[in-house]
Structure 1
Amino acid sequence: MKKILLSAAALVLLFSCQNDTTETATETSAVAKRGCASQEVLAAQMKADPTLALRMSKIEAFTEKAMLSGRLVNGKVEIPVVVNVLYRTAAENISLDQIQSQIDVLNEDFNATNSDFTSTPALFSGVAANVGITFVLQNVVRKSTRTTSFSTNDAMKSASKGIAPTTPSTVLNMWSCNLGGGILGYAQFPGGSSATDGVVMDNNAFGRTGTVSGVYNLGRTATHEVGHWMNLRHIWGDATCGSDLVSDTPTHNTANYGVPAYPHYSTCTGTPVEMTMNYMDYTDDRGMYMFTNGQKSRMDAIFVSGGARAGFGI
């Protein structure tokens, strides 16, 4: 297990390097490789707004302090969710049942009630976490569009081409649309503009019923992306043997795909067994089923008074 101690300056350097290792499904195929564009979007936002790196460094410093002092959420955080559906075809206009199935998956995964949580290997059972955050569907907003497919430029979040977010300081906004390009989804990390805050999902990876298909049919793409929205990094740190800023996750070589056989060893220092079943890896939906206590602490820290998402806290 790794120990983390990063200065704000080092954190900025980490952010600036992360785009070099962004993975998208276009490198092989949408079926073979998970495509999450969160790091790519973050790099573009930092390039457009040089002050974002400073804001995120301050968030990281606050997070580290909150984790060390034990100043974490004391009780339940309940997240209201607004789902914004952009559709050109009937299939893209996903049903309420499909939307609710995604809310159900989030509640299971963030409260360790998912049936596959019990598959956690003994090696990791001591750090497997019940995050204790719940999600409630507040509203569904629908809008017809002529756009064949959206990309990661946040056009789906604008009032002119898409649907603007609803009170993002107190509501998690999720967009369902045809993303295209083999990308399953992306999220905005804490610290970004409120005008673009939230999680974007391809309609074919939203929930676990309806239009979902292939190996991304269990709603885990949203679990992964909401993890980013709550300040979690990819488990391999977006660099070879990089850091995800969490102390109780093993060091990974890089992203894992498919469903690796356990144990899967890293070639990084100490050759640790990789936690391929962690939601912040790139495995298939059926291959991911746990967060860690360290990840829970990072997520908790953004909801306390003074945290980046304190509007949701108690």
Structure 2
Amino acid sequence: MTKNILRYVLALILFSKCGSDNDVIPIDKEPDLENPSNGVYSIPIVVHILHNDEPLGEGGNLSEARILKQIESLNNDYRKRQGTNGFNDHPDGTDAKVEFVLASQTPEGKQSNGIVRINMLDVDNPMESNSTFDYCAYYSYWNPEEYLNIWTVPYLELTDVFLGLGTGPETDLPGKDALAKGEPFQAEGVIINAGHFGESSLSTTYNLGRTLTHEVGHYLGLLHPWGLGDCDFNDYCADTPKVNVPVTSCTPAIGCDGEEIQVQNYMNWSPDDCMNMFTNDQAFRMHYVLENSPRRKTLLSSKGLQEPL
């Protein structure tokens, strides 16, 4: 227990390490979309289920039904689907036009359902002292140029202590130094505590699967609305009211300019049940990353989106 907690505390410190970046890169138009159908980006994902030899569907060895429900929830959030928890009627809320698809084939071209299960007890992992991303990637890691790697880790004892982590993209966007680095610094993708992956009956305010929505936002270049804690340079999105402290509640509050903050924004640390929006500027930022960033733009033509020959 102590070693696991230490590893995740170190990971959280790494994730929180920030620099400064005050140069603004203007995004004055919607980027041209390369692969989308009906103007929607499709991203292939692989979910690596790391478990401690639990039976299928128990503990960290999450059931396929729960995984599929989480991906459905993720798409509801990014597509602002009416009749779901991801819908909002906020004037600045938008359909982010990003969808996530479980990979149809492996990097070797074999048929896949986009789910990999690894019994951690069968593997002697030498990456214990490395970053949490490298540690997880040692068990299983698909080409990050073609897949969004998502790992679930079986540390249910850390529920509400460790929720998730996400690496940011390689980009020229302002605020990039506030995001965790990916390749070549460390393996890249998203890590989620199995207890916070998908909907669960756990007694926590983070039990509806919004941790993945949030961390994928970082993977696509979004910052927390409070950025580096500076009212002038926060998340570089003009339609998210300025705030300089973490937002952790659903209770309405006033930000830097006397404007009510967006407690419902997915990039806050608000409880899952009040999160339901990305803004137009946040969507533009994600689209810019998908069109320009290495290991993001290549996802759009990944063979993982296609059935194997």
TM-score range, shorter chain: 0.7 to 0.9
- 1:183-211 deviations in Å (ceiling 9; x for gaps): 100000012215511000000000114x7
Q: Is the 8 A contact 2:49 2:116 kept in 1?
A: yes
Name which of 13, 25, 42 aligns with 1:64.
25
Following superposition, the deviation at residue 41 of structure 1 comes to 2.9
In 1, Cα distance between equivalents of 2:28 and 2:115: 39
Q: Give the conservation status (yes or no) of the 8 Å contact 2:79–2:86.
A: no
1:98 aligns with 2:34: no
**Which whole-Å CA distance do the structure 2 matches of 1:38 and 1:156 have between them?**
11
Q: Report the alpha carbon displacement of residue 307 of structure 1 after superposing the two structures with TM.
A: 5.9
> Which residue number in structure 1 is paired with residue 289 of structure 2?
302
Are the counterparts in 1 of residues 76 and 87 from structure 2 also a CA contact under 8 Å? no
* Residue identity in the other structure for 2:81: T
Report if aligned partners of 2:165, 2:191 keep a CA contact under 8 Å in 1. Answer: yes
Per the TM alignment, residue 258 of structure 1 is displaced from its structure 2 partner at its CA by: 3.4
Where do 1:196-211 residues align within 5 Å?
A: 196-209=187-200
Give CA-to-partner distance per residue, 1:35-90, whole Å, 9 cap, x none.
9998743466x8xxxxxx8xx97xx97x935x225434362211111000111152
Post-superposition CA distance 1:222-255 (Å, at most 9, x none): 0000000000000111315351111110011311
Partners of 1:208 and 1:37 in 2: how far apart? 27
Q: Match of 2:245, SS? A: coil
Distance in 2 separating the partners of 1:243 and 1:229: 17
Q: Does the CA contact (< 8 Å) of 1:236 and 1:243 recur in 2?
A: yes
Cα distance in structure 1, aligned partners of 2:30 and 2:99: 21
Amino acid in the other structure paired with 2:61 = N
On the 8 A contact 2:228/2:244 being kept in 1, the answer is: no
Shift, 1:155, TM fit: 4.4
Partner of 1:265: 254
d(CA) in 2 for partners of 1:131, 1:184: 23
**Which 4+ residue blocks in structure 1 deviate beyond 4 angstroms?**
35-39, 117-120, 305-308
Contact kept, 8 Å, 1:184 with 1:201, in 2: the verdict is yes
- Write the letter of the residue equivalent to 1:188: T
Deviation (angstroms), 1:102: 1.1
Name the aligned partner's letter for residue 142 of structure 1: R
| 2:244 is equivalent to residue 249 of structure 1 | no
- Secondary structure of residue in 2 paired with 1:109: helix
Q: Which protein is richer in helix relative to its size? A: 1
> Which among 146, 159, 168 is matched to residue 189 of structure 1?
168
SS state of the match for residue 110, structure 1?
helix
Q: Aligned partners of 1:143, 1:276: CA distance in 2, in Å?
A: 37
Distance 1:285 1:303, change over 3 A: same
Per-residue displacement from partner, 1:3-27 (whole Å, max 9, x unpaired)? xxxxxxxxxxxxxxxxxxxxxxx9x
Specify the alignment match of 2:49 in structure 1. Answer: 85
**TM-score scaled by length of structure 1:** 0.71
Contact 2:145 2:295 in 1 (8 A): no
Counterparts of 1:174 and 1:306 in 2: how far apart (Å)?
19
- What SS does the aligned partner of 2:195 have? helix
Percent identity among equivalent residues? 27
Are the structure 2 counterparts of residues 196 and 250 from structure 1 closer, same or farther at C-alpha, using a change threshold of 3 Å?
A: same
Q: Deviations over 1:128-182 (max 9, x none)?
A: 11001111112111111149xx8963243332xx22x211112111000135651
Structure 1 residue runs without a partner (length 5+): 1-25, 27-34, 47-52
CA distance in structure 2 between the aligned counterparts of 1:155 and 1:189, rounded to whole angstroms: 15
Q: Is the 8 A contact 2:73 2:86 kept in 1?
A: no
* 1:213–1:226 distance in 2 versus 1, CA, 3 Å: farther
Preserved CA contact (<8 Å) 1:73 1:313 = no
- Which residue does the alignment assign to 1:22? none
Q: Select the residue among 175, 190, 208 that pairs with 1:218.
A: 208
Aligned to 1:140: 115
Q: Which of 268, 282, 305 lines up with 2:269 in the alignment? A: 282
Q: 1:305 touches 1:313 (CA, 8 Å); kept in 2? A: no
